[in-house]
Structure 1
Amino acid sequence: MRAASPGPSALFVPSSSSSQPLTTTAPPPVSAARARSEARRKYTYAAFFLVVSLVSFTVQTELASHIQHDLGWNKAYCMMYLTHGSWTLLWPAQLAVLRFSSPRRRRGQSWGRFWEGHVRTLRGIALLVETRGGVNGQRGLLEYGHSPLPYLVRTTVGVTMALTVAGLSWYIAVSMTTPSDLTAIYNCSAFFAYAFSVPLLKERLRTDKMVAVAVAIAGVLVVAYGDSAEGGEPSATGGTADAPDTSTRFAGNLIIGLGSVLYGLYEVLYKRFACPPDGTDANKGVIFANTFGSLMGAFTLLVLWIPLPILHVMGWETFELPTGQTAWLLFISVIMNMLFTGSFLVLISLTSPVLSSVASLLTIFIVAIADWLWTGTPLSPAAIFGGLLISAAFGMLSWSTWREMNEEERKKQVDLSDDED
């Protein structure tokens, strides 16, 4: 995780229930106990959203596979459009939670007052994101009545397009290459997330982090290629799949390789341009992550519908609304994807793209276990060993991140002591 911005330089914004004006002065230095308490709260939130993301992704993956392969509704782009578009609901859902989660605290508060405080909070966090935590820049923008909306629009377009192209590469390559190649190459995004974090997030090259990422990718390779099954290419859970011809497989690997790079870039771009700086209150990080997720969903709904009629006319993907059981299961899958995305964005905001990316690799092992429980097909030795490697890598990276956090806290206290002297 990159070095945190000093606490005294952070802009304080009110909670969504406050009616006080936005403070533009730097807050007083916090005590060591309070800094440790805030760090524990941040990582407690991160652990909770990690569990939510893993569970929701597993359910979404199993349902999507059942819908496409068993129920025959194989509409890849339409499914992606619906799932990504569902992110629009993240902010309204969050707004409802903020409004009704603490009735005693908000008793007697009118909707207008609550809305005014919430908008002021979002504007303050957005200015914090735009100015990278610079107090002087924030004061100037506030004095001139600057709106962060243009910045948010530009950032939303850039980050969403990187994610969309990365997602499309997976859907295109899935029929061109083997399941093992698809799994191994796409999940190398953890490496690219770390590579992009160095120049964009000023991440330090740390041996323990590089080893953890390497172990995670090794685990993916073991899962993908560890078993040789007769009659086909090994899949992630030890099954087989018909191998495409060499030229098609090579083209598919190039496409999914591009998707892997772009997915790693998407995670880092989001952290760099759409997250409050490290050291910001954890609640504000959660609030803004879900808000930005809604902006990405809105851009998807408003713009990315355009390929749907083109695909229909060209005959590449005939538009057809699901019905019956397919529609019901698709609805659940879409909701699960929305939960996963909201949780994953919060996880990146509170920790780092590298830790979040390696954490997402845990879903490979969890989905394999779910397949075992669902179909009765036992896990292959490679799936078990690879899953254990990925789990070990996540543990290593979590410990490294925790150590980094403690180092940053000690540095803060030294800086504060120097200031007092």
Structure 2
Amino acid sequence: MYAGCFLVLSLISFTIQTETAVYIQHRMGWNKAYCMLYFTHGSWSLLWPMQLLILRLQKWNVPWQPFWRRHVAILRSTAQMIQHRTLHLTPRQSQQSPLRYMIWTTAYVTCALTVAGGSWYVAVDMTTASDLTAIYNCSAFFAYVFSIPLLHEKVRFGKVLAVAVAIAGVLVVAYGGKAEESTPKHGGKSGGGAGGPDHDAKEPQNRALGNIVIGIGSVLYGFYEVLYKKVACPPDGCSPGRGMLFANTFGSMIGFFTLCVLWIPLPILHFTGLEKFELPTGDTAKMLLVSVLANATFSGSFLILISLTSPVLSSVAALLTIFIVALVDVMLPGDLATPLSGNAIAGGCLIIAAFIMLSVATYREMDEERRQKEMEVAESEVDEDEA
């Protein structure tokens, strides 16, 4: 139930972020790729304060000091569970501070995320929109590949087929009809989500190199999703509330690391002339604020979705945004509207079918694991009675 709610929230917020980011870059002319990436990832720092405010409003009658002590204790114990990969901490484990572990974890997870998101912006002017969309969204496949060795995911035919159908849907959307004539609107799940300049009017000169760059980004984004599940999510069996609480907290840690460290490329890009640093003003600033807040909402929901389910299911679910954005484009006013092609409908239907297939396969797997645990408990009780 929680996963379903946050899935809907993530789809809505990502659609808002994508449309506003495209409008900012294409209509308002504020095309600052890395700066937008810095703002959007930095906005994740708001997740924990907003979560704390909501929790405080829910428990307004509780005095602040007991409320704060309990909140910190839950976060600390959850971090210790993640560090030691167990729900049952020993006295020695419960006394160890998880701060150092979480700092290093935040650092390398953020770096993987930033490189993956930044690769999209690097490749946007080097390759075609269709190649960009198709290759980057193959991250769902790489999420499954990395899940096998890192999360000990079993190779199941149903899941493999679902991922293949999802990627086929992306290929239909990317290469069908007039895909080559338009800029990409789906910028990926980590970055600004906006398309770059209209680079499909002529054949890009560095298309092969651009495809290699975005291919590396696709691999890294699949790796980031699995890495987050491996090193920053509570072990299986943890309560959903604790998992959601820590997901937003870790998202804030990523945002804080981004604000404190990843500003360094901004002056380098400015003085080299690759991207002049200019703060947005007026309507552009207002639209950017909406886009940034929408990205923070999407990112928090997406982290929770991975924590409660799996990187593979979450990655395929995120592909639904391709079809949703296409539907929204039809309803935009005036010259902002984009006709919905038959290929977009066909590809969207394939992605939806893949998500349903994967959901059913995941539910069956969870049910199988639950029954296996019940059998193990029953057998242990029988052994105790015999003893």
TM superposition score normalised by structure 1:
0.85
What residue ranges of structure 1 are gaps of 5+ in the alignment?
A: 1-43
> CA 1:295–1:236 in structure 2 vs 1: closer, same or farther (change >3 Å)?
closer
Residue 91 in 1 paired to residue 48 in 2?
yes
Shift of the alpha carbon at 1:228?
5.0
2:174 aligns with one of 218, 224, 242: 224
Output the amino acid matched with 2:230: R
1:65 aligned partner? 22
Residue pairs, 1:14-413, within 5 angstroms: 44-103=1-60, 107=61, 109-133=62-86, 135=88, 138-142=90-94, 145-228=95-178, 233=181, 242-245=200-203, 247-374=205-332, 375-413=336-374
Query: Could you tell me the percent identity over the aligned residues?
Result: 61
1:196-225, Cα deviation, whole Å (9 max, x unpaired): 000000000000000000000000000001
1:414 aligned partner? 375
Which region of structure 1 is more displaced relative to structure 2, 74-83 or 343-352?
Answer: 74-83
1:181-206, Cα deviation, whole Å (9 max, x unpaired): 00000000000000000000000000
Shift of the alpha carbon at 1:236?
6.1
Contact 1:165 1:259 in 2 (8 A): yes
Cα separation, 2, equivalents of 1:303 and 1:272: 24
2:188 aligned partner? none
TM superposition score normalised by structure 2:
0.92
SS in 2 for 1:135: coil
Shift of the alpha carbon at 1:102?
3.9
Contact 2:43 2:296 in 1 (8 A): yes
Cα separation, 1, equivalents of 2:270 and 2:92: 50
Shift of the alpha carbon at 1:366?
0.4
Cα separation, 1, equivalents of 2:184 and 2:120: 15
1:231-280, Cα deviation, whole Å (9 max, x unpaired): x546668xx96255464111111100000000000000000000001111
Output the amino acid matched with 1:112: Q
Contact 2:24 2:284 in 1 (8 A): yes
What residue ranges of structure 2 are gaps of 5+ in the alignment?
A: 186-197, 383-387
Runs of 4+ in 1 over 6 A off after TM superposition: none
Aligned alpha-carbon RMSD (Å): 1.5
Shift of the alpha carbon at 1:378?
1.9
Cα separation, 2, equivalents of 1:68 and 1:279: 44
SS in 1 for 2:165: helix
Contact 1:227 1:234 in 2 (8 A): no
Shift of the alpha carbon at 1:52?
0.5
1:106-129, Cα deviation, whole Å (9 max, x unpaired): x2x221111111111101000110
Q: How many residues align?
A: 367
2:190 aligned partner? none
Contact 2:182 2:200 in 1 (8 A): no
Cα separation, 1, equivalents of 2:297 and 2:346: 29
Cα separation, 2, equivalents of 1:191 and 1:181: 16
Contact 1:225 1:234 in 2 (8 A): no
Shift of the alpha carbon at 1:334?
0.4
Contact 1:177 1:252 in 2 (8 A): yes
Output the amino acid matched with 1:330: L
Contact 1:180 1:225 in 2 (8 A): yes
